[in-house]
Amino acid sequence: MSQIDWQSMKNLGGYEVGTENKKTAEMRGRLAEGPAPVILEHIYQQRLKKDEATLPYLTEANLAHVVMLARTRILQEPDAKALLGVLMQIDEQGKDLFDLDAKLEGLYYNYERYLIETLGPRTGGRLHTGRSRNDLGATTSRMKVRDLVLRLLHQIIQFRSSLLHTAEKHLDTVMTGYTHLQPAQPITLAHYLTAIEQALQRDTVRMLQTFENINRSCLGAGALAGTGFPIDRQMTADLLGFDGFVENTLDAVGSRDYLLQLFSNLAILAITLSRFAQDLFVWYTYEFGIIDLPDQLGGTSSIMPQKKNPIIMEACKGRTSHVLGGLITALGAMKNTNYTNVIDVNTESFHFLDDSAYQIESVLALLQAAFENMEVRKDRAYEMASANFSTVTELADTLVREKDYSFREAHHIVGEIVRKAVQKGLIATQITSEFMDRVMVAKIGTPIELPEDKVRQALDPKENVSARAHDGGPAPSAVATTIGRARRLVEKDKHLVETTDQKLQEAKAILRRTAQDMIDRR
Domain presence at residue 470: no
The helix, strand and coil proportions of the chain, stated in percent and rounded to the nearest 5, come to: 70, 5, 30
Q: Is the pLDDT of residue 382 over 80?
A: yes
Rounded to whole angstroms, the Cα distance separating 365 from 362 reads 5
Domain end residue (candidates: 96, 129, 162): 129
User: In CATH, what number is assigned to the domain containing residue 67?
Assistant: 1.10.275.10
User: What average pLDDT does the segment 93-118 reach?
Assistant: 88
Domain presence at residue 518: no
- Say yes or no: 357 and 420 in one domain: no
Contact 216, 244 (CB under 8 A): yes
Q: How confident is the model at residue 1 (pLDDT cuts 50, 70, 90)?
A: very low
Q: Calculate the dihedral angle through the C-alpha atoms of 102, 105, 106, 108, rounding to the nearest 10 degrees.
A: -120
* pLDDT of amino acid 28: 65
Domain presence at residue 72: yes
User: In CATH, what number is assigned to the domain containing residue 273?
Assistant: 1.20.200.10
Q: Is the pLDDT of residue 19 over 60?
A: no
Mean pLDDT of the chain: 93
Non-local (6+) Cβ contacts of 468 within 8 A are: 474, 475, 478
Q: Evaluate the CA torsion angle 91, 96, 99, 104 in order and state its sign.
A: positive
Q: Is 255 a catalytic residue?
A: no
* pLDDT of amino acid 52: 79
Q: Evaluate the CA torsion angle 12, 14, 16, 18 in order and state its sign.
A: negative
Range of the domain at 315: 135-383+480-510
Non-local (6+) Cβ contacts of 515 within 8 A are: 63, 66, 67, 84, 87, 88
User: In CATH, what number is assigned to the domain containing residue 430?
Assistant: 1.10.40
- Say yes or no: 175 and 303 in one domain: yes
Domain end residue (candidates: 73, 106, 129): 129
User: What average pLDDT does the segment 236-256 reach?
Assistant: 98
Q: Which of 255, 234, 243, 219 is nearest to 140 (CA)?
A: 219
Identify the three-state secondary structure at position 111. Answer: helix
- Say yes or no: 228 and 124 in one domain: no
User: What average pLDDT does the segment 119-124 reach?
Assistant: 95
- Say yes or no: 11 and 158 in one domain: no
Q: From residue 306, how far is each of 286, 298, 309, 370, 377 by CA, in Å?
A: 12, 12, 10, 20, 20
- Say yes or no: 181 and 296 in one domain: yes
Rounded to whole angstroms, the Cα distance separating 148 from 352 reads 13
- Say yes or no: 485 and 448 in one domain: no
pTM of the predicted protein model: 0.92
From the candidates 2, 8, 180, 302, which is the catalytic residue?
A: 180
Identify the three-state secondary structure at position 174. Answer: strand
Span 393-432, pLDDT tens digits: 999 999 999 999 999 999 999 999 999 999 999 999 999 9
Q: Is the pLDDT of residue 223 over 60?
A: yes
Non-local (6+) Cβ contacts of 154 within 8 A are: 497, 501
Domain end residue (candidates: 72, 105, 129): 129
Domain presence at residue 522: no
Domain presence at residue 207: yes
Domain presence at residue 474: no
Domain presence at residue 468: no
* pLDDT of amino acid 27: 61
Domain presence at residue 308: yes
Q: Is the pLDDT of residue 468 over 70?
A: yes
- Say yes or no: 493 and 442 in one domain: no
Contact 137, 47 (CB under 8 A): no
Q: Which of 381, 486, 522 is nearest to 157 (CA)?
A: 486
3-state secondary structure 153-169: HHHHHHHHHHHHHHHHC
- Say yes or no: 401 and 501 in one domain: no
- Say yes or no: 113 and 230 in one domain: no
Span 322-356, pLDDT tens digits: 999 999 999 999 999 999 999 999 999 999 999 99
DSSP string, 264-332: HHHHHHHHHHHHHHHHHHHHHSTTT--EE--GGG-B--SS-TT--B-HHHHHHHHHHHHHHHHHHHHHH
Q: Is 180 a catalytic residue?
A: yes
Contact 270, 323 (CB under 8 A): yes
- Say yes or no: 219 and 332 in one domain: yes
- Say yes or no: 116 and 185 in one domain: no
Of 10-14, 17-21, 35-39, 148-152, highest mean pLDDT: 148-152
> Would you tell me how many other CB atoms lie within 10 Å of the CB of residue 343?
12
Q: From residue 334, how far is each of 42, 80, 82, 180, 339 by CA, in Å?
A: 20, 38, 40, 37, 9
* pLDDT of amino acid 12: 39
- Say yes or no: 277 and 411 in one domain: no
From the candidates 301, 321, 406, 477, which is the catalytic residue?
A: 301
User: What average pLDDT does the segment 202-217 reach?
Assistant: 98
Domain count along the chain: 3
